[in-house]
Chain A
């Protein structure tokens, strides 16, 4: 069998190629010029990300597809890729001082980060269920290693192992689902499955339903939706903070891109069954994420549960399955990327060598020690809680509107109640930072790259609130091109 590749196919994957080449350069540097690589790796990686962003920008609006329809570069995927690449760039900045302090192998660390980014970019472009599986594996394998990168620390080891074991399970489940779908329809192409479903009309087919269910499970694992969230707090806590920052944002964006695309492309006919499942998962995710977060005394664990909860809110938009919902997903992902990365950046700034000082008591009186840092953290906390004047508010009202529009009253009530609950634990951080005075805690000095990340995140969080239309062109285009 001869698979014809043309030059046009390769155009589709230019950003991915750029990142792969950059990762290769870093590895080569590491092998042949160790000293230079220790200094230069982060900056090379950063340049790679920015070059990737530029490439994505050039591809905006082109609506390409390649490799026999396996990969699609429409605006939806480009938008998600921008989120992923921005998150990667910011995570690299976060890592500069951190990776030196923790004495990581510089070359390996940054090349792994780029390779996992490649996986995420592929995932955002996947229009074939096999591609979904492959890209999930690419991104996951790199992340497994990165989660356990702090070889000297037991918790990091545990995180890497746990993520690897559970991640492998979920990948197996996903591929089994793909196999069942193939068995039922004879194709793994997303649109192909949909057209088979439309022509044959097989809504009640048990094999098909099982396949759809298993795919949902596999992706729910990646977005950390209940009941597949067990790994999240442990992995987020154990993994190095910049890695957690990166994967809590970028993985989520990529996985939600895949989920949305499968929903819109493939299972829109099955939406009755599929949406009922998502409804339940969304409600559970919001409830568990927010309620358990209250009990956390470790800021990394708290943010882990918060990230579970936010997956629940995005799932509300998925469940609403209307134009509002689909449009609000990219906006939510963008807004969430900045506020969550910002929060993790503050965590990175406060933690001491060896991932010490992650208890929330370490934040007590932060306002009196470093008012700017505390002020930024307050912005991120209010944004995560969905309060104005932050992008978190805008993102949340989009979600609420989608739910109202889709008449998902029950889900909306859950979302509201859990938002109130979440206000409590986000508020708790601000209470500790602003209202408790502990002069005994040491001063916090923020490295310049981390400060840059925090600054970008604060500005973006408020900017997206004041001028939400700055992404409007994007999100509108997303909807038009997806149909």
Chain B
């Protein structure tokens, strides 16, 4: 089916195509421009929804992948490579959901150059989806910067009084981070032992990166993402940008753009630089805690309603940082859940603030008071958004915050958990303070008395957001079940970081591997994934190879079962689950690797040792089968170039030792 095969590309390019069509509509057809843009955004959302149902829960790798060559030179290629997993699925859904909401929210408030406004929003939509689905680092960077440019225009052209300062600050801050990231990307691509590549899957699977290089690259990537999240001392652009942006801009900034930093850590920093991530974790966790508490305290001190909500984001994103750097399944799952929840709850808060501003033309808390009496419907929506934001159980933010606190407790100790949890208490204070000052109390001011309650359009804007807030609070499991496999993979990459640290490089053959296995007990598991294949490499032979593998699965099963009854650890578990064989690099990335194996030869040795051990178990027929497999293997030239040496049947003498 066309849509299913190209769904991610459609999601990126449909809004872009629509944006160009918007530009072609003459300016005087104001209503047409708005309706057309809204329709395009809603259609994009409608196309994205099936992703939720088509998404395969059990696959840990990337789904809906697509690879198209983009830049080709003699030495390297940049591919248009997209795909999603559990980490990006809900961020894509959130993006496609929030943009039409943001459009509808600015229906009346953006009148000047509305055509260019909707043009920017639509391209921004495509670029944001691009950020979340790119699996090529250069492509990711392109979308990352494109999104930055568009947001800069949205804040700078359609923002409030102080918009120019805010937009330049936002731009320069982000650009500083992203240019460093660009250099790191290029450096990373050139470091790759199997040839220059910028493909994330190839990079993660190509083997570990040397320790000191990991630190530098983590620093460059981490700075870009930390600015985006934002982590405590780098957060100063956020209150300005959020406050000065038009409502649509604030909703998208808080709802989606802030998530890109956290997403970047999960997608790039942890899998690529696990050693550095663990090394820097204490620093980031301390900054996260500072962010939680500082953000909350400063939010409490804000006279400006919008600024208060902006600072609350600093506090909430501190939770996300804590969750990510807890490095356990609870923390990462909690962070992912909270990212979605925060997008909805804070998005709703900004919508409410925008509605209040449209009526009162002020954002100062002192100018409000007793609004509930004149705007009861708004009061209800506001109440739900506020309660969700302060983490009330049953609403969206609670499960995420809870999981993060649990994760922190498990990973560190109760002091960290308590400090993290204090954010929940503090948020209660400032959110209730905000709500009380704005909505409750006597309705004294005449300007307030004349405020009118929500229009039908505004109810349309808020209802779906609030609905999802309630749904997410009630059924967090729908999200968690889909993110679990991917979160687990990130976690494993970090957990297995130490095994990839090679001491002195040294080439080993099968015999040495077997010997070293005997000396260093380790558990080896191949989790089969069928998704990391590039389309170009999806050769017919790969299919037959897979069939052949299932026929030798009997052998592996024998080895696997051996482990269960063995008392000592000197055995290897080989769980060969169905998948391409020999497993591509990426299948091996998160696996523990015996020491002393150089990165380049790692895969060869591991695969060969699998073969070797299989051969040790098997009879002559089995060895022949393996040789046949090797010949048919699509990537034998790179993976098994030394296979002759490895595939010698292990002598009976060795067999005896092995047994």
Contact = CB atoms under 8 A, between A and B. Distances in A.
Interface string A449-483: 00000000000000000001100100110010000
Contact of A420 (B138, B176, B187): B176
B164 interface: yes
A404 B146 contact: no
Nearest to A466: B70
Task: Pick from B75, B138, B179 the residue with the most CB of A within 10 Å.
Answer: B179
Contacts of A476: 73-74
B141 interface: yes
B509 to A, nearest CB: 33
Contact of B186 (A404, A430, A479): A404
Task: Pick from B72, B73, B171, B180 the residue with the most CB of A within 10 Å.
Answer: B73
A400 B185 CA distance: 11
B142 A389 contact: yes
A371 B113 contact: yes
B157 interface: yes
A279 B416 CA distance: 50
Contacts of B74: 323, 327, 476, 479
B157 A412 contact: no
A397 B73 CA distance: 13
Nearest to A402: B186
A322 to B, nearest CB: 10
Given A394-B71, A427-B168, A431-B164, A420 B186 contact: no
A423 B182 CA distance: 15
Contacts of A479: 74
Chain B contact residues: over half helix, strand or loop, or mixed?
helix
Contacts of A412: 183
Nearest to B16: A389
B187 A404 contact: yes
B145 interface: yes
B156 interface: yes
A68 to B, nearest CB: 33
Given A387-B145, A389-B146, A323 B172 contact: no
B163 interface: yes
Contact of A423 (B116, B167, B175): B175
Given A435-B156, A469-B72, A401 B186 contact: yes
Contact of B190 (A327, A382, A405, A472): A405
Contact of B175 (A389, A397, A420, A468): A420
A427 B138 contact: no
A269 interface: no
A388 interface: yes
Contacts of A405: 190
Interface string A67-92: 00000000000000000000000000
Given A367-B157, A393-B142, A400 B113 contact: no
Nearest to B72: A469
Contacts of B113: 367-368, 371
A401 B227 CA distance: 25
B164 A435 contact: yes
A436 B167 CA distance: 13
Contact of B75 (A323, A423, A431): A323
A434 interface: yes
Nearest to B144: A388
B45 interface: no
A397 B138 contact: yes
A340 interface: no
Contact of A388 (B72, B141, B163): B141
Contacts of B187: 404
Interface residues of A, number: 35
Interface in B136-176: 138, 141-142, 145-146, 149, 152-153, 156-157, 163-164, 167-168, 171-172, 175-176
B153 A434 contact: yes
A424 B141 contact: no
A368 B142 CA distance: 28
B346 to A, nearest CB: 26
Given A393-B145, A419-B179, A401 B157 contact: no
A332 interface: no
A144 to B, nearest CB: 39
Interface in B250-304: none
Interface string A397-430: 1001100110000001000100110011001001
Nearest to A480: B74
A324 interface: yes
Interface in B175-208: 175-176, 179-180, 182-183, 186-187, 189-190
A4 to B, nearest CB: 39
B183 A327 contact: no
Contacts of B141: 388
B215 to A, nearest CB: 16
Interface string A246-283: 00000000000000000000000000000000000000
Contact of B163 (A327, A387, A435, A472): A435
Contacts of B164: 431, 435-436
A423 B149 contact: no
A420 B179 contact: yes
B171 A427 contact: yes
Nearest to A324: B75
A416 B73 contact: no
Contacts of A324: 73, 75
Given A435-B163, A435-B164, A388 B146 contact: yes
Nearest to A322: B75
A401 B157 CA distance: 35
Nearest to A407: B190
Contact of A435 (B72, B146, B167): B167
Contacts of A394: 71
Contacts of A416: 179-180, 182-183
Contacts of A420: 172, 175-176, 179
Given A327-B73, A401-B190, A434 B142 contact: no
A431 B186 contact: no
A397 B186 contact: yes
Interface in B101-151: 113, 116, 138, 141-142, 145-146, 149
A248 B168 CA distance: 29
Contact of A397 (B146, B167, B182): B182
A351 B76 CA distance: 44
Interface string A229-253: 0000000000000000000000000
B71 A434 contact: no
A369 to B, nearest CB: 12
Interface string A366-379: 01100100000000
Contact of B182 (A327, A400, A430, A472): A400
B183 A400 contact: yes
A435 B141 CA distance: 26
Contacts of B157: 367, 434-435
A400 B76 CA distance: 14
A469 to B, nearest CB: 5
23 contacts: A324-B75, A327-B74, A367-B157, A368-B113, A371-B116, A400-B186, A401-B76, A401-B186, A404-B186, A405-B190, A412-B183, A416-B179, A420-B176, A423-B172, A427-B152, A434-B153, A434-B156, A435-B167, A436-B164, A469-B69, A469-B70, A476-B73, A479-B74
Interface of A: 323-324, 327, 367-368, 371, 382, 387-389, 393-394, 397, 400-401, 404-405, 412, 416, 419-420, 423-424, 427, 430-431, 434-436, 468-469, 472, 475-476, 479
Given A327-B73, A389-B146, A468-B71, 19 more contacts: A367-B113, A367-B116, A387-B145, A387-B149, A397-B138, A401-B76, A401-B189, A401-B190, A412-B183, A420-B175, A423-B171, A427-B168, A434-B153, A435-B157, A435-B163, A469-B69, A469-B72, A472-B72, A479-B74
Question: Would you list the 3 A-B pairs with minimal beta carbon distance, nearest first?
Answer: A388-B142, A435-B156, A388-B145
